[in-house]
Amino acid sequence: MKRIILSLLLFACLASVPFFTKREYIYSVVILICLYTILSHSWNLLGGFTGQISLGHSTFLGVGALVFRYVWLQGVPAYLSLGAAALASLVLASIIGFPSFKLKGHYFSIGTLALSMIAFITIQNVFPGISFVPQEYLRTYSLVPVYYMALVAAAVTIGVVYAVTRSKLGLALVSVREDESAAESVGVNTFKYKVISMSLSTLIAGMGGGVFSFYVASYYYYVPFNLDYSFDPVLITFIGGPGTVVGPVIGSVCFVLLKELFAISLGQMNVLIFGIVFILTILFLPEGLVGLAKKVRRSKKVHVVESS
């Protein structure tokens, strides 16, 4: 209950930010944190909770962005367009993603990576141009509506993941991650739960694509299909803590703030820095910052018990 109250207070504080400042840089930072939280939790549901290491999430983000921009420019309200973006990603997953579960282990990862590469090259060739918003919209352009959409979408995402972790579904997903063969032997339909995990994951990724498309006024169509959006959520989730609710949020905050800092001071070297951070995290903090915090709390308790 404490966590829910704290989360609601944090949401209220973030929702009140536009009433106290008009600085668009602050809006952009919060929007990016929300966007990466959405994308990372999308990956976390499939990779962190279910143990299916996907490297193809940029495909679902990109399809969400593509559909959102098209539907929105037809005059459909932004939040309804966001729903269409999420559903489009789910449809793509049902056509292409679900059959990939026939592959297991690293073959699944390679298969999803191949999917994202094919999607990137296809979009780059089929839609080589730039997606623009109408001039009328640019005249009154403001980041405030984008800010609230990103905030609401991130809150919904975290709420869904939290609900999953507190349900039988979450227990089933974790059993698939821990030992798929053992889960099958006790009657768990592993394929069914992997499909459910993939469905939720792609719905959330498509929603993230909608937020991206609403945020960026003009961009090349292939940009949200870039492989960065397949690898970044993996890095973020492992920094924060895979298989946790708060881990991707912490990871997103660290990632966005450090990226802003490194991009200014180091330029393109920031890619190398994040690569090193990822390797060190895997080696020394396999449970991420959340796992480190738990270890610190445990060691304090042991110290207190020993001293008493």
What average pLDDT is seen over the chain? 87
Q: Half-sphere exposure (CA, 13 Å, Cβ side) for 167?
A: 11
Judging by DSSP bridges, how do beta strands 130-131 and 219-220 pair with one another?
antiparallel
pLDDT band with cut points at 50, 70 and 90 for residue 266: low
Residue 32 in contact with residue 161, Cβ under 8 Å?
no
Cβ-defined contacts of 65-68 (< 8 Å, 24+)? 65/209, 65/210, 65/212, 65/213, 65/224, 66/123, 66/127, 66/209, 66/213, 66/221, 66/224, 67/206, 67/209, 67/210, 68/209, 68/210, 68/213, 68/214
Domains of the chain in start order, with CATH, are 23-307 (1.10.3470)
What pLDDT score was predicted for residue 143?
Answer: 92
Does 55 have pLDDT greater than 70?
yes
First-last CA distance in the chain: 31
Distances 265 to 12, 270, 275 between C-alpha atoms, Å: 33, 9, 17
DSSP 46-100: IIIIS----S-HHHHHHHHHHHHHHHHHTT--HHHHHHHHHHHHHHHIIIIIGGG
DSSP type of residue 133: -
Radius of gyration of the chain (CA): 20
Does 247 have pLDDT greater than 80?
yes
Mean pLDDT of 10-20: 92
Angle formed by the axes of helices 24-43 and 57-73, nearest 10°: 130
Does 224 have pLDDT greater than 60?
yes
Work out the percent of the chain whose per-residue pLDDT is above 90: 53
Amino acid identity of residue 34, one-letter, is C
Work out the percent of the chain whose per-residue pLDDT is above 70: 92
Mean pLDDT of 80-93: 94
